[in-house]
Amino acid sequence: MSATLFYEDAVDLLDADHKLVQKLFLDYQGLCDDGAPSEDRRQLALKICQDLSVHAQIEEEIFYPAVRAAIDDDPLMEEALREHAEAKKAIARIQGMAPTDASYDDTVKQLFTTIMDHVMEEREQIFLKARYSTADLRGMVPELYARKKALQKSAPARKPAGKKKVTS
Ligand SMILES: [Fe+2]
Ligand SMILES: [Fe+2]
């Protein structure tokens, strides 16, 4: 089935990503509440980081430039990019941390807060303005979808836990 039939427009596609990642963060909270093993938490945290990285990249490559051209609000778009940069720093921190680190869960939860603040701003300002603009939100769906699939495919495979590279 064509991606254009799955999603009404670009906003619909991007907000589906937001809802999915919000669910993953809540799953992460569930793992913490259950005292799940650090490797389970790590696998989920890395999936969240990967999904967020792909999402930010398709926004920055395709959606943001088209919306910026259509809504004439550069400060709003600059603010969104600043928030992406902040999230990327937190993502890099998590990717470089051991899940046994005492601040691992708090760092993931902090990323959740940062992301949800950003998502609210996208929903209430950028998406709203985009839908009232001349940006071709429907026409963007196949490109967003294809780029997302390509980035997901090219993501480096995660190494199994505890398997350190042996050098001799
Ligand atoms: Fe964003
Ligand atoms: Fe987004």
pLDDT for residue 1? 55
Closest ligand to residue 87's CA: 1
Long-range contacts of the stretch 99-105 (C-beta < 8 A, 24+): 99/38, 99/39, 99/41, 99/42, 99/45, 100/38, 104/38, 104/41, 104/45, 105/32, 105/41
Closest ligand to residue 17's CA: 2
pLDDT for residue 155? 78
9 CA from centroid of ligand 1 (Å): 16
Report, in angstroms and rounded to the nearest whole number, the Rg of the chain calculated over CA atoms: 17
The domains located in the chain, with CATH, are: 8-153 (1.20.120)
| C-alpha–C-alpha distance, residues 120 and 148, integer Å | 22
76 CA from centroid of ligand 1 (Å): 11
137 CA from centroid of ligand 2 (Å): 14
For the whole model, what pTM was predicted?
0.90
Residue 157 confidence (pLDDT) above 80 = no
